[in-house]
Amino acid sequence: MKHKTVAKTVGTFVVAVSLSVAYQPLAHANGTSGDTYTTQANKAAKYVADNLSVARASSASGLGVELDALIGVSATGTQSAAVTTMLSDVTTYGPTYCPTGSPSGHVGACAKLSIALMSAGEDPASFDGKNYIGAVSAASSYTSYSEYVTNTALALVALSRADKPVPAALFQAAIDQSADQWPASGSPAWDDIDSGGLMLTALSHVDDSRKTATVTNIESWMDQARVDGEGWSNQVTTSDPSSNVNTTAWVAPGMDRSDETSQAVDAQSWLVSQQNTDGSFTAGPDLTEPINLMMATTQAIPPLLGLSSYDNAGTTYQPHTITVAS
């Protein structure tokens, strides 16, 4: 399972325009379905805190794993010492991870950093004197927004939590279906089911009817990777699919926000059954290295809590319905 942190960029315009045809937000856009497995989530957060050195090991070269940890732990409201340590690392490495003065090529990094800060109750517009969320709105080209679908989704999520309009180029990148980067087309360069799940979550907060066809296509793509009564595989090209923790952790909330709640709740129950005795999660049988356990565990925590995700982990900066700028 590849890690979802590729540093990319973001959009331009900042004047929000209401559309002539309003789009009704999805019923579960804020992730209010499913059960709340507080004990299991807190146990997972403790595992992350006890093994924080694993998440921090690569932070000097890229904060991605540690930001996943910050989002996951913040979702539980526990492990304050670990949160303090991670915020200190963001202060140290954030300016390199998300260079606010030249964000082109870093949209995913700036968005993920902003999401992590908001999950922890920090303002991404002023943290340590840096405007990280501003960097998410600062890229000026379609190319900057469309380098990798996960980064596009992260940018939408960050702007929703910060209540900012969506740059037109970013929205276009989100709904376009290009075979070399967007799995909803049916001819992807690689299976990327988890990115599709995160995009469902992201688009659920965008008030624009032009997203409808893309959402329908993503849902169809998710159906091809679903394992009945469990979660989702990270690929659709196998005759014997098995559910993957990382993939399911992103897809279940996305499907919930698309009103596929029964599937999402089944997947949530399956996730609970996958927790190890030490609180960790194993993504798959061949993914047992410490870094794999850390990644699976950090991403599994939010959906244990009422099918939360990166759009609403923590208690602050909850998602808003946002419109496309022009």
Instruction: Give the model confidence (pLDDT) of 253-265 as tens digits.
Output: 999 999 999 999 9
Q: What is the mean pLDDT of the chain?
A: 87
The contacts of residue 32 (CB under 8 Å, 6+ apart) are: 306, 307
Q: CB burial class (10 A; 0-12, 13-18, 19+) of residue 276?
A: middle
Give the amino acid at 112. Answer: K
The CA-based angle 15-20-23, given to 5 degrees, is 95
Tell me the CB-side half-sphere exposure of residue 248, using CA atoms within 13 A: 34
SS3 state at 82: helix
pLDDT score, position 170:
94
Residue 210 DSSP symbol: G
Neighbours of 239 (CB within 10 A): 4
pLDDT score, position 63:
98
Going from the N-terminus, what domains does the chain have, and what CATH number goes with each?
38-304 (1.50.10.20)
Looking at residues 86-111, what average pLDDT do you find? 96
Looking at residues 156-167, what average pLDDT do you find? 97
Say what the pTM is.
0.89
pLDDT score, position 286:
84
**Taking each helix axis from N to C terminus, what angle separates 149-162 and 193-203, rounded to the nearest 10 degrees?**
30
Is the sign of the CA dihedral 282, 244, 212, 148 positive or negative? positive
Q: Could you give the CA distance from residue 54 to residue 295 in angstroms, rounded to a whole number?
A: 10
Helical segments of 21-79, H only:
38-50, 52-56, 64-76
Q: Find, among 10, 109, 22, the residue nearest to 66 by Cα.
A: 109
pLDDT score, position 48:
99
CB 55 within 8 A of CB 294: yes
Q: Say what percent of the chain tops pLDDT 70.
A: 85
- 151 to each of 110, 159, 165, how far by Cα in Å? 9, 12, 17
Rg (CA), the chain: 18
Q: What are phi and psi of 36, to 5 degrees?
A: -115, 105
pLDDT digits (tens, 9 = 90+) for 163-205: 999 999 999 999 985 544 555 444 444 567 899 999 999 999 9
